[in-house]
Amino acid sequence: MLMKASSQSLTEQLAGRFSERIRNRLLAPGARLPSVRQCAGQHGVSPSTVVAAYDQLLAQGLVEARKNRGFFVREASLPAAEEAAQAPAVPAGFNAAHWIVARRGPAPVNATSLIRGMFHKISNKPQPGMGVFPSDWLESTFMPAAVRKVTTTRALHEFSLQYGEPLGDTGLRRALATKLAALNVPASPQQIITSVGATHALDIVSRTLLRPGDPVMVEEPGWAVEFARLTALGMHLLPVPRRADGPDLEVMAKYCAVHKPKLYVSVSVFHNPTSYCLSPGSAHRVLQLANQHDFHIVEDDTYSHIAPPHATRLSALDGLQRTIYVSGFAKILAPNWRIGFLAAPPALVEQLLDTKLLATLTTPALLEKALALCIEQGQLRRHCERIRTRLDVARGRSVKLALQAGCRFAAEPAGLFGWVDTGVDTDALAQRMLDEGYLLAPGALFHAERTPSTLMRINFATTQDAAFWKKYAELVRRM
């Protein structure tokens, strides 16, 4: 709340609140600020106070005023003439709604809004927009024990005073090969490369297989960090609508015919943000397109630990021929351990390894050895079972509260995330909820081009608090 007794004026306090959120990327470039009247009502101040605060933000270069539209968080972009010169012509007869070319230059920073929210603590309340399990869900005794076991004086001397194995710790790669075999993904330890988290594994793949300007098919809605990462590398993004059974195959076929894409990035199981799972029929057709049009597929199986083992995976059906399998342990075990991996066709392993070596040399062996121990002794498996059971209970409660608050689920509730329709602009709702101490994940974040959306992603593990849904319903009624 703004304080009238503060040494700062109400104008300075309001401008400072918006300024801090913009600088911390909690308000993303392109986001619209509330109208003067709305902002005045939300904060209990006069319209003239809001006008003065917005003027301060304009003077600081943080926002821009657009005639008859309002105030928007400022973003750096190419001059119009340069942007037009760089954009290729749209083919005749092709649906322009599916034609999106990523701009060159800095990646869209709106993608990092939720990530930055993890580091700039909003409040002590459960955060519905977060992409991870609550820390108390991940607490265990077996992880510290595993670390202690691999950090004896002798062990530290053996592997800490020299660079580790380029591919990653042998014991961990053996354990991962066994784990993948249970998912019917055939990978020997020599086909597995460890990485600094799953995002690093995705980056290794794209830096190895792609060159600036290459067309890349991505699922939409999808994870904005992946959109931004590929954009930063200069790729042309080709958004493929994601349906309940898989990608829109008609759109994919058109892209293949017109653009000859080099890569398709997919989350087959518990897709983010919808939690859809790929059907066998769609999977076979995707693989047919890949073989016919000569592109690789990166399958991001980040949520494998909470998914049924029989779920359809492209890498299992393809046998790691055109597919590259990526996963990690941040979601289920320890976000800060930053252990991920990829499993690739034998012919690509050396190229991918070269890219890893150029970026990080090797990955830290200490935590890789500790993780291998957790897998081999069955502790990770039992931990995952406990998390899945707890998540099932949480999901049931969260769905009930969401429906009572007036939400409609746009996708069948499953996995960690719910994809819900609020009926209001979730960018605007996110700003209001931020004032109440809640960080949301508005639907615009999950599109290659930020457009207004009534959808939002919720985390079932962090939306069991009735107080959140009460405040949510209250604010939606006012919008």
pLDDT 10s digits, 300-334: 999 999 998 889 999 999 999 999 999 999 999 98
Domain 10-73 identical in fold to domain 115-135+383-478: no
pLDDT exceeds cutoff 80 at 107: no
pLDDT at 103: 34
Backbone angles phi, psi at 72, to 5 degrees: -130, 145
pLDDT at 114: 57
Specify the CATH number of the domain 142-378: 3.40.640.10
Give the chain's mean pLDDT: 87
Q: Can you name the residues that pair with 66 across neighbouring β-strands?
A: 70
pLDDT at 118: 56
| pLDDT bucket at 40, cuts 50 / 70 / 90 | confident
| pLDDT bucket at 368, cuts 50 / 70 / 90 | very high
Domains of the chain, by residue range, sit at 10-73, 115-135+383-478, 142-378
Among 230, 291, 295, which residue's Cα sits nearest to residue 260?
295
pLDDT 10s digits, 369-421: 999 999 999 999 999 999 999 999 999 999 999 999 999 999 999 999 999 99
pLDDT at 120: 60
% of residues, the chain, pLDDT over 70: 88
pLDDT at 97: 31
pLDDT at 335: 84
Specify the CATH number of the domain 10-73: 1.10.10.10
| pLDDT bucket at 296, cuts 50 / 70 / 90 | very high
Q: Quick check: pTM over 0.95?
A: no
In the chain, the amino acid numbered 446 is: F
pLDDT exceeds cutoff 60 at 79: no
pLDDT at 112: 58
CA pair distance 372, 310, nearest whole angstrom: 23
| pLDDT bucket at 5, cuts 50 / 70 / 90 | low
Backbone angles phi, psi at 356, to 5 degrees: -60, -45
Report the pLDDT averaged over residues 461-474.
96
Burial profile 350-380: b = 16 or more Cβ within 10 angstroms, e = fewer: eebbebbeeeeebbbbbbbbbbbbbbeeebb
pLDDT at 6: 72
Q: What is 115-135+383-478's CATH superfamily?
A: Aspartate Aminotransferase, domain 1 (3.90.1150.10)
Range with the largest mean pLDDT of 71-75, 213-217, 440-444: 213-217
% of residues, the chain, pLDDT over 90: 62
pLDDT exceeds cutoff 50 at 140: yes
CA pair distance 47, 37, nearest whole angstrom: 6
Among 347, 368, 317, 305, which residue's Cα sits nearest to residue 191?
347
pLDDT exceeds cutoff 90 at 124: no
